[in-house]
Amino acid sequence: MVDEEEQKEYRWETGYEKTWEAIKEDDDGFLEASVADIIQRAKRKRQAQKQGNSKLGMMRHLYVILDCSDSMSSQDLKPTRLLCTVKIMENFIEEFFDQNPISQMGIIIMHNKRAEKISDLAGNARKHIKAINNLKQTSLIGEPSLQNSLEMALRALKLLPSHASREILVVMGSLTTCDPGDINTTILNLKSEGVRCSVIGLAAEVHVCRRLANETGGLYNVILDDCHFKDLLYQQVDPPPAALTLESNLIKMGFPHQMSVEGTEEPLTMCMCHVDSTDEGSKLNTGGYYCPQCYSKYCELPVECRACGLTLVSAPHLARSYHHLFPAANYDEITYENQTVICFACQKNFSETDKQVYRCPNCTKIFCINCDIFVHDILHTCPGCATNLSTFQIAHNTTQ
Protein backbone atom coordinates (compact mmCIF):
# COMPACT_ATOMS: atom_id res chain seq x y z
CA MET A 1 0.00 0.00 0.00
CA VAL A 2 1.26 3.42 -0.81
CA ASP A 3 1.94 5.90 1.91
CA GLU A 4 -0.42 8.65 1.04
CA GLU A 5 0.97 11.15 3.48
CA GLU A 6 1.70 14.50 1.99
CA GLN A 7 5.32 15.25 1.33
CA LYS A 8 6.17 18.58 2.90
CA GLU A 9 9.54 18.67 1.23
CA TYR A 10 10.51 21.24 -1.31
CA ARG A 11 12.15 20.12 -4.47
CA TRP A 12 15.52 21.51 -3.44
CA GLU A 13 15.45 19.61 -0.19
CA THR A 14 15.04 16.14 -1.64
CA GLY A 15 17.99 13.85 -2.19
CA TYR A 16 17.82 13.05 -5.85
CA GLU A 17 16.86 16.46 -7.09
CA LYS A 18 19.89 18.33 -5.80
CA THR A 19 20.73 18.64 -9.42
CA TRP A 20 23.33 21.36 -9.21
CA GLU A 21 25.38 19.25 -6.85
CA ALA A 22 25.12 16.15 -8.98
CA ILE A 23 25.96 17.82 -12.25
CA LYS A 24 29.66 18.18 -12.76
CA GLU A 25 31.48 19.05 -15.90
CA ASP A 26 33.73 16.38 -17.30
CA ASP A 27 37.23 17.08 -18.59
CA ASP A 28 35.95 18.59 -21.79
CA GLY A 29 33.41 20.74 -20.01
CA PHE A 30 30.42 18.61 -21.04
CA LEU A 31 27.57 17.66 -18.77
CA GLU A 32 26.42 14.53 -20.62
CA ALA A 33 28.37 12.01 -18.55
CA SER A 34 26.96 13.23 -15.27
CA VAL A 35 23.41 13.27 -16.61
CA ALA A 36 23.80 9.65 -17.74
CA ASP A 37 25.17 8.87 -14.31
CA ILE A 38 22.15 10.42 -12.58
CA ILE A 39 19.81 8.37 -14.75
CA GLN A 40 21.73 5.16 -14.11
CA ARG A 41 21.75 5.67 -10.38
CA ALA A 42 18.08 6.57 -10.33
CA LYS A 43 17.34 3.36 -12.24
CA ARG A 44 19.10 1.19 -9.69
CA LYS A 45 17.46 3.08 -6.85
CA ARG A 46 14.02 2.56 -8.37
CA GLN A 47 14.85 -1.06 -8.96
CA ALA A 48 15.74 -1.46 -5.30
CA GLN A 49 12.43 0.00 -4.21
CA LYS A 50 10.48 -2.45 -6.29
CA GLN A 51 9.26 -5.30 -4.20
CA GLY A 52 7.15 -8.23 -4.96
CA ASN A 53 4.05 -8.98 -3.00
CA SER A 54 2.80 -5.42 -2.90
CA LYS A 55 -0.62 -4.62 -4.22
CA LEU A 56 -0.51 -2.95 -7.59
CA GLY A 57 -3.21 -1.30 -9.62
CA MET A 58 -3.04 -3.66 -12.58
CA MET A 59 -6.08 -2.54 -14.53
CA ARG A 60 -4.92 0.93 -15.33
CA HIS A 61 -6.94 3.68 -16.91
CA LEU A 62 -4.60 6.47 -17.82
CA TYR A 63 -5.37 9.84 -19.36
CA VAL A 64 -2.37 11.57 -20.87
CA ILE A 65 -2.79 15.35 -20.93
CA LEU A 66 -0.45 16.98 -23.40
CA ASP A 67 0.35 20.64 -23.45
CA CYS A 68 -0.11 21.96 -26.99
CA SER A 69 0.13 25.63 -26.15
CA ASP A 70 2.43 28.27 -27.49
CA SER A 71 5.21 27.27 -25.11
CA MET A 72 5.59 23.85 -26.79
CA SER A 73 7.13 25.48 -29.85
CA SER A 74 10.18 26.41 -27.81
CA GLN A 75 13.35 24.86 -29.16
CA ASP A 76 15.11 23.83 -25.97
CA LEU A 77 14.30 20.23 -26.85
CA LYS A 78 15.28 19.39 -30.41
CA PRO A 79 13.75 20.04 -32.91
CA THR A 80 10.93 21.54 -30.86
CA ARG A 81 9.39 20.59 -27.54
CA LEU A 82 6.29 19.25 -29.25
CA LEU A 83 8.05 17.12 -31.86
CA CYS A 84 10.39 15.69 -29.25
CA THR A 85 7.44 14.90 -26.99
CA VAL A 86 5.52 13.26 -29.83
CA LYS A 87 8.49 11.08 -30.69
CA ILE A 88 9.08 9.94 -27.09
CA MET A 89 5.34 9.55 -26.52
CA GLU A 90 5.02 7.14 -29.45
CA ASN A 91 7.53 4.74 -27.90
CA PHE A 92 5.96 5.23 -24.50
CA ILE A 93 2.51 4.21 -25.77
CA GLU A 94 3.90 1.04 -27.31
CA GLU A 95 5.82 0.18 -24.17
CA PHE A 96 2.82 0.97 -21.98
CA PHE A 97 0.55 -1.48 -23.78
CA ASP A 98 3.31 -4.02 -24.02
CA GLN A 99 3.71 -4.03 -20.26
CA ASN A 100 0.07 -3.38 -19.32
CA PRO A 101 -1.91 -5.32 -21.91
CA ILE A 102 -5.26 -5.10 -20.16
CA SER A 103 -5.03 -1.38 -19.45
CA GLN A 104 -6.57 1.54 -21.29
CA MET A 105 -5.31 4.96 -22.25
CA GLY A 106 -6.77 8.19 -23.54
CA ILE A 107 -5.19 11.42 -24.76
CA ILE A 108 -6.29 15.00 -24.10
CA ILE A 109 -4.53 18.05 -25.46
CA MET A 110 -4.72 21.52 -24.00
CA HIS A 111 -4.38 24.54 -26.19
CA ASN A 112 -5.95 27.95 -26.54
CA LYS A 113 -7.39 27.71 -22.99
CA ARG A 114 -9.42 24.65 -24.01
CA ALA A 115 -9.18 20.94 -23.51
CA GLU A 116 -9.69 18.67 -26.48
CA LYS A 117 -9.94 14.91 -26.38
CA ILE A 118 -8.01 13.48 -29.33
CA SER A 119 -8.52 9.84 -28.41
CA ASP A 120 -10.90 8.14 -26.02
CA LEU A 121 -10.02 5.60 -23.35
CA ALA A 122 -9.15 2.46 -25.30
CA GLY A 123 -6.73 -0.41 -25.31
CA ASN A 124 -5.49 -0.16 -28.86
CA ALA A 125 -1.97 1.25 -29.16
CA ARG A 126 -2.15 1.90 -32.89
CA LYS A 127 -5.09 4.27 -32.61
CA HIS A 128 -3.33 6.39 -30.01
CA ILE A 129 -0.10 6.50 -31.94
CA LYS A 130 -2.00 7.68 -34.99
CA ALA A 131 -3.73 10.38 -32.96
CA ILE A 132 -0.48 11.57 -31.46
CA ASN A 133 1.24 11.65 -34.82
CA ASN A 134 -1.48 13.94 -36.15
CA LEU A 135 -0.42 16.43 -33.48
CA LYS A 136 2.64 17.32 -35.52
CA GLN A 137 0.38 19.45 -37.70
CA THR A 138 -1.48 21.17 -34.85
CA SER A 139 -0.97 24.88 -34.52
CA LEU A 140 0.42 25.67 -31.12
CA ILE A 141 -1.58 28.62 -29.90
CA GLY A 142 -2.61 30.30 -26.70
CA GLU A 143 -2.22 29.25 -23.11
CA PRO A 144 -3.01 25.82 -21.69
CA SER A 145 -5.80 25.30 -19.18
CA LEU A 146 -4.88 22.70 -16.61
CA GLN A 147 -8.24 22.84 -14.88
CA ASN A 148 -10.33 22.30 -18.00
CA SER A 149 -8.26 19.28 -19.01
CA LEU A 150 -8.27 17.76 -15.54
CA GLU A 151 -12.03 18.18 -15.34
CA MET A 152 -12.46 16.53 -18.72
CA ALA A 153 -10.31 13.57 -17.69
CA LEU A 154 -12.07 13.31 -14.35
CA ARG A 155 -15.50 13.20 -15.99
CA ALA A 156 -14.44 10.11 -17.93
CA LEU A 157 -12.52 8.44 -15.11
CA LYS A 158 -15.37 8.92 -12.61
CA LEU A 159 -17.50 6.41 -14.46
CA LEU A 160 -15.03 3.57 -14.23
CA PRO A 161 -15.72 0.61 -11.95
CA SER A 162 -14.21 0.71 -8.50
CA HIS A 163 -11.48 -1.85 -9.14
CA ALA A 164 -9.90 0.18 -11.95
CA SER A 165 -6.87 2.25 -11.13
CA ARG A 166 -7.39 5.81 -12.36
CA GLU A 167 -4.44 7.88 -13.42
CA ILE A 168 -3.67 11.15 -15.15
CA LEU A 169 -0.29 12.04 -16.59
CA VAL A 170 0.28 15.68 -17.48
CA VAL A 171 3.13 16.76 -19.74
CA MET A 172 3.38 20.47 -19.16
CA GLY A 173 5.59 22.82 -21.13
CA SER A 174 4.02 26.06 -20.06
CA LEU A 175 4.75 27.81 -16.77
CA THR A 176 1.25 29.25 -16.58
CA THR A 177 -2.28 27.95 -16.75
CA CYS A 178 -5.45 29.83 -17.58
CA ASP A 179 -8.35 28.44 -15.57
CA PRO A 180 -12.01 29.34 -15.40
CA GLY A 181 -12.36 28.68 -11.67
CA ASP A 182 -10.47 27.62 -8.58
CA ILE A 183 -8.16 24.76 -9.48
CA ASN A 184 -7.89 23.72 -5.82
CA THR A 185 -11.43 22.41 -5.85
CA THR A 186 -10.57 20.34 -8.93
CA ILE A 187 -7.55 18.94 -7.12
CA LEU A 188 -9.72 18.06 -4.14
CA ASN A 189 -12.24 16.37 -6.42
CA LEU A 190 -9.47 14.35 -8.05
CA LYS A 191 -8.22 13.36 -4.63
CA SER A 192 -11.62 12.22 -3.43
CA GLU A 193 -12.14 10.17 -6.59
CA GLY A 194 -8.78 8.48 -6.06
CA VAL A 195 -7.23 9.69 -9.30
CA ARG A 196 -3.46 9.63 -9.20
CA CYS A 197 -2.01 12.61 -11.08
CA SER A 198 1.60 12.74 -12.16
CA VAL A 199 3.16 15.73 -13.84
CA ILE A 200 6.28 16.00 -15.98
CA GLY A 201 7.41 19.58 -16.37
CA LEU A 202 9.41 20.54 -19.44
CA ALA A 203 10.46 23.95 -18.20
CA ALA A 204 10.68 24.59 -14.47
CA GLU A 205 8.89 23.72 -11.26
CA VAL A 206 5.40 25.14 -10.94
CA HIS A 207 3.71 25.27 -7.55
CA VAL A 208 0.27 24.22 -8.74
CA CYS A 209 1.70 21.12 -10.44
CA ARG A 210 3.65 20.19 -7.34
CA ARG A 211 0.48 20.57 -5.31
CA LEU A 212 -1.54 18.51 -7.75
CA ALA A 213 0.95 15.65 -7.67
CA ASN A 214 1.42 15.74 -3.89
CA GLU A 215 -2.28 15.85 -3.10
CA THR A 216 -3.18 12.97 -5.37
CA GLY A 217 -0.19 10.75 -4.63
CA GLY A 218 1.50 11.14 -7.99
CA LEU A 219 5.00 12.08 -9.04
CA TYR A 220 6.21 15.49 -10.10
CA ASN A 221 9.45 15.85 -11.99
CA VAL A 222 11.09 18.44 -14.17
CA ILE A 223 13.24 17.18 -17.01
CA LEU A 224 16.94 17.89 -17.47
CA ASP A 225 17.19 16.89 -21.13
CA ASP A 226 15.47 14.58 -23.61
CA CYS A 227 17.08 11.41 -22.18
CA HIS A 228 15.90 12.32 -18.73
CA PHE A 229 12.46 13.09 -20.16
CA LYS A 230 12.31 9.63 -21.69
CA ASP A 231 13.43 8.06 -18.44
CA LEU A 232 10.80 9.95 -16.42
CA LEU A 233 8.09 9.03 -18.87
CA TYR A 234 9.07 5.37 -18.80
CA GLN A 235 8.70 5.38 -15.02
CA GLN A 236 4.99 5.60 -15.74
CA VAL A 237 5.08 2.26 -17.56
CA ASP A 238 5.27 0.28 -14.34
CA PRO A 239 1.92 0.01 -12.60
CA PRO A 240 1.71 2.17 -9.47
CA PRO A 241 0.98 0.71 -6.04
CA ALA A 242 -2.73 0.31 -5.51
CA ALA A 243 -4.33 3.30 -3.81
CA LEU A 244 -5.96 2.72 -0.46
CA THR A 245 -9.34 3.47 -1.90
CA LEU A 246 -8.97 0.88 -4.64
CA GLU A 247 -11.42 -1.95 -4.26
CA SER A 248 -10.55 -5.43 -5.31
CA ASN A 249 -12.90 -7.35 -7.42
CA LEU A 250 -13.20 -10.46 -9.47
CA ILE A 251 -13.67 -9.53 -13.08
CA LYS A 252 -15.39 -11.80 -15.49
CA MET A 253 -13.28 -12.37 -18.56
CA GLY A 254 -13.53 -14.47 -21.66
CA PHE A 255 -10.70 -16.46 -23.20
CA PRO A 256 -11.63 -16.83 -26.85
CA HIS A 257 -10.16 -19.45 -29.09
CA GLN A 258 -10.41 -20.16 -32.76
CA MET A 259 -13.46 -22.13 -33.79
CA SER A 260 -12.31 -25.12 -35.67
CA VAL A 261 -14.43 -28.12 -36.43
CA GLU A 262 -12.42 -31.07 -37.67
CA GLY A 263 -12.35 -31.36 -41.42
CA THR A 264 -14.35 -28.23 -42.21
CA GLU A 265 -13.21 -24.79 -43.18
CA GLU A 266 -14.25 -21.92 -40.96
CA PRO A 267 -17.01 -19.82 -42.48
CA LEU A 268 -16.12 -16.45 -43.99
CA THR A 269 -17.19 -13.73 -41.57
CA MET A 270 -16.49 -10.12 -40.74
CA CYS A 271 -14.96 -9.03 -37.47
CA MET A 272 -16.78 -6.75 -35.07
CA CYS A 273 -13.81 -4.43 -34.59
CA HIS A 274 -13.80 -3.12 -38.15
CA VAL A 275 -17.41 -3.61 -39.12
CA ASP A 276 -18.39 0.05 -38.85
CA SER A 277 -15.06 1.83 -39.16
CA THR A 278 -14.78 4.05 -42.18
CA ASP A 279 -11.04 4.32 -42.74
CA GLU A 280 -10.24 0.62 -42.44
CA GLY A 281 -13.03 -1.40 -43.98
CA SER A 282 -13.87 -4.82 -42.68
CA LYS A 283 -12.78 -7.78 -44.75
CA LEU A 284 -14.33 -11.19 -45.01
CA ASN A 285 -11.93 -13.77 -43.66
CA THR A 286 -11.86 -17.07 -41.86
CA GLY A 287 -9.60 -16.67 -38.84
CA GLY A 288 -10.39 -14.73 -35.70
CA TYR A 289 -11.30 -14.93 -32.06
CA TYR A 290 -14.86 -15.65 -31.02
CA CYS A 291 -16.38 -14.33 -27.82
CA PRO A 292 -17.25 -17.44 -25.79
CA GLN A 293 -20.47 -15.79 -24.61
CA CYS A 294 -22.09 -14.36 -27.74
CA TYR A 295 -19.84 -15.61 -30.56
CA SER A 296 -19.03 -12.21 -32.01
CA LYS A 297 -15.78 -12.30 -33.92
CA TYR A 298 -12.78 -10.07 -33.26
CA CYS A 299 -9.55 -9.94 -35.20
CA GLU A 300 -7.31 -9.01 -32.30
CA LEU A 301 -7.12 -9.25 -28.55
CA PRO A 302 -7.47 -7.85 -25.92
CA VAL A 303 -10.82 -6.22 -26.60
CA GLU A 304 -14.10 -5.60 -24.87
CA CYS A 305 -16.89 -7.44 -26.63
CA ARG A 306 -19.16 -4.89 -28.26
CA ALA A 307 -22.15 -7.14 -28.11
CA CYS A 308 -22.09 -8.46 -24.56
CA GLY A 309 -19.45 -6.32 -22.80
CA LEU A 310 -17.24 -9.23 -21.78
CA THR A 311 -13.53 -8.47 -21.61
CA LEU A 312 -11.75 -10.82 -23.99
CA VAL A 313 -8.09 -11.61 -23.36
CA SER A 314 -5.69 -14.45 -24.05
CA ALA A 315 -3.69 -16.15 -21.32
CA PRO A 316 -0.31 -14.73 -22.44
CA HIS A 317 -1.75 -11.22 -22.08
CA LEU A 318 -2.27 -11.85 -18.41
CA ALA A 319 1.09 -13.59 -18.14
CA ARG A 320 2.79 -10.51 -19.59
CA SER A 321 1.77 -8.57 -16.50
CA TYR A 322 2.87 -11.18 -13.97
CA HIS A 323 6.43 -9.91 -13.79
CA HIS A 324 5.20 -6.71 -12.13
CA LEU A 325 3.75 -8.84 -9.38
CA PHE A 326 6.57 -11.38 -9.10
CA PRO A 327 9.74 -9.47 -10.02
CA ALA A 328 13.19 -11.07 -9.97
CA ALA A 329 15.07 -10.63 -6.71
CA ASN A 330 17.43 -7.67 -6.58
CA TYR A 331 21.08 -8.60 -6.81
CA ASP A 332 23.56 -7.53 -4.14
CA GLU A 333 26.48 -5.44 -5.26
CA ILE A 334 29.76 -6.96 -4.08
CA THR A 335 33.36 -6.11 -4.84
CA TYR A 336 35.08 -8.48 -7.20
CA GLU A 337 37.67 -10.64 -5.47
CA ASN A 338 38.06 -13.48 -7.95
CA GLN A 339 34.95 -15.27 -6.71
CA THR A 340 34.39 -16.67 -10.15
CA VAL A 341 36.00 -16.44 -13.55
CA ILE A 342 32.94 -15.83 -15.69
CA CYS A 343 29.50 -14.25 -15.45
CA PHE A 344 27.03 -17.09 -14.95
CA ALA A 345 24.56 -15.84 -17.54
CA CYS A 346 26.49 -14.32 -20.44
CA GLN A 347 29.80 -16.20 -19.97
CA LYS A 348 31.77 -12.96 -19.97
CA ASN A 349 35.26 -13.28 -18.52
CA PHE A 350 35.71 -11.00 -15.54
CA SER A 351 38.84 -8.90 -15.73
CA GLU A 352 40.61 -6.17 -13.76
CA THR A 353 38.14 -3.57 -14.96
CA ASP A 354 35.18 -5.26 -13.27
CA LYS A 355 35.30 -3.75 -9.81
CA GLN A 356 31.75 -4.65 -8.89
CA VAL A 357 29.93 -7.87 -9.56
CA TYR A 358 26.36 -8.74 -8.65
CA ARG A 359 25.16 -11.73 -6.67
CA CYS A 360 21.67 -13.13 -6.57
CA PRO A 361 20.55 -13.64 -2.95
CA ASN A 362 18.60 -16.80 -3.83
CA CYS A 363 20.94 -18.82 -6.02
CA THR A 364 24.23 -17.03 -5.07
CA LYS A 365 25.34 -17.03 -8.68
CA ILE A 366 27.51 -14.11 -9.79
CA PHE A 367 26.56 -11.81 -12.68
CA CYS A 368 28.12 -8.87 -14.49
CA ILE A 369 26.57 -5.39 -14.47
CA ASN A 370 25.12 -5.69 -17.95
CA CYS A 371 23.35 -8.91 -17.09
CA ASP A 372 22.06 -7.30 -13.88
CA ILE A 373 20.42 -4.56 -15.93
CA PHE A 374 19.20 -6.96 -18.61
CA VAL A 375 17.69 -9.37 -16.11
CA HIS A 376 15.84 -6.71 -14.13
CA ASP A 377 14.82 -4.44 -16.99
CA ILE A 378 13.78 -6.94 -19.63
CA LEU A 379 14.01 -10.58 -18.67
CA HIS A 380 12.47 -10.50 -15.15
CA THR A 381 13.74 -14.02 -14.47
CA CYS A 382 17.04 -14.75 -12.77
CA PRO A 383 18.91 -17.23 -15.01
CA GLY A 384 20.70 -18.68 -12.00
CA CYS A 385 17.50 -19.37 -10.07
CA ALA A 386 15.65 -20.63 -13.14
CA THR A 387 18.24 -23.30 -13.90
CA ASN A 388 18.26 -24.88 -10.49
CA LEU A 389 15.51 -27.14 -9.27
CA SER A 390 15.77 -25.96 -5.67
CA THR A 391 15.44 -22.27 -6.51
CA PHE A 392 13.44 -21.91 -9.70
CA GLN A 393 10.14 -21.36 -7.94
CA ILE A 394 11.30 -19.04 -5.18
CA ALA A 395 9.83 -15.89 -6.67
CA HIS A 396 6.57 -17.69 -7.07
CA ASN A 397 6.53 -19.32 -3.66
CA THR A 398 6.89 -16.13 -1.66
CA THR A 399 3.42 -15.15 -2.71
CA GLN A 400 1.71 -18.38 -1.86
Partner 1 sequence: MNNLEIPAETTPEFTSTSETSLLVVIVDSNPSQKMLRDNPHVLTHCVDSVIAFANSHLMQKAQNKLAVMACHSKTSEFIYPGPNKPLDVRQIDGQYEVFTAVEKTIKHNLAKLLANEKSTLVTESLLAGAIAMALCYIARIQRTKPPGCRLNSRILVVTGSGDSASQYMNYMNVFFTAQKQGIVIDVCALDQHLSLLQQGCDITGGLYLKVPQLQGLLQYLLWVFLPEPPIRQKLVLPPPVKVDYRAACFCHRELIDIGYVCSVCLSIFCKFSPICTTCHTVFKIPGPLAVKSKKKKIKL
Residues of span 59-78 touching partner 1 by CB under 8 A: 59
- Give which of 130, 146, 156, 155 is closest to 66, Cα–Cα: 146
In the complex with partner 1, the residue whose CB is nearer, 104 or 147, is: 104
Site for partner 1 in 207-236 (CB under 8 A): none
HSE (CB half, 13 Å, CA atoms) of 191?
Answer: 16
Query: Could you give the string, one character per residue 149-188, with x where binding to partner 1 holds by CB under 8 A and - elsewhere?
Result: ----------xxxxxx------------------------
Q: Contact between 254 and partner 1 (CB under 8 A)?
A: yes
Min dist CB 195 to partner 1, Å, is 16
In the complex with partner 1, the residue whose CB is nearer, 111 or 376, is: 376
Query: Is there a contact between 199 and 170 (Cβ–Cβ < 8 Å)?
Result: yes
Site for partner 1 in 261-300 (CB under 8 A): 292-293
Query: Could you give the string, one character per residue 78-117, with x where binding to partner 1 holds by CB under 8 A and - elsewhere?
Result: --------------------x-------------------
Min dist CB 310 to partner 1, Å, is 7
- CA 18 vs CA 10, 23, 33, 34, 198: distances in Å: 11, 9, 17, 13, 20
Contacts of 328 (CB under 8 A, 6+ apart): 375, 376, 379, 380, 381, 382, 385, 395
In the complex with partner 1, the residue whose CB is nearer, 87 or 306, is: 306
In the complex with partner 1, the residue whose CB is nearer, 173 or 384, is: 384
Interface residue with partner 1, options 178, 318, 350, 354 (CB under 8 A) = 318
Q: Contact between 326 and partner 1 (CB under 8 A)?
A: yes
**How far is 112 from 178, CA to CA, in rounded Å?**
9
Task: Provide the 8-state DSSP code for 272.
Answer: T
Q: What 3-state DSSP class applies to 309?
A: coil
AA letter at 261? V
Q: Contact between 310 and partner 1 (CB under 8 A)?
A: yes
Residue 331 CB neighbours (<10 A)? 23
Interface residue with partner 1, options 88, 110, 360, 375 (CB under 8 A) = 375
Query: Could you give the string, one character per residue 379-398, with x where binding to partner 1 holds by CB under 8 A and - elsewhere?
Result: xxxxxxxxxxx--xx-xx--
**How far is 255 from 303, CA to CA, in rounded Å?**
11
Stretch that binds partner 1, among 74-82, 203-211, 311-319, 351-359 (CB under 8 A): 311-319
Min dist CB 347 to partner 1, Å, is 6
**How far is 310 from 254, CA to CA, in rounded Å?**
6
Q: Contact between 350 and partner 1 (CB under 8 A)?
A: no
Stretch that binds partner 1, among 11-19, 170-178, 206-214, 377-385 (CB under 8 A): 377-385
Strand order of the sheet with strand 60-67?
A: 114-122, 104-111, 60-67, 165-172, 195-201, 220-222
The size of the interface with partner 1 (CB under 8 A), counted in residues, is: 71
Min dist CB 84 to partner 1, Å, is 24
The per-residue DSSP string of 27-58 comes to: TTS-SHHHHHHHHHHHHHHHHHH--TTS-B--
Interface residue with partner 1, options 14, 91, 184, 260 (CB under 8 A) = 260
Interface residue with partner 1, options 33, 56, 270, 294 (CB under 8 A) = 56
**How far is 234 from 150, CA to CA, in rounded Å?**
22
In the complex with partner 1, the residue whose CB is nearer, 192 or 340, is: 340
Query: Is there a contact between 218 and 212 (Cβ–Cβ < 8 Å)?
Result: yes
AA letter at 207? H
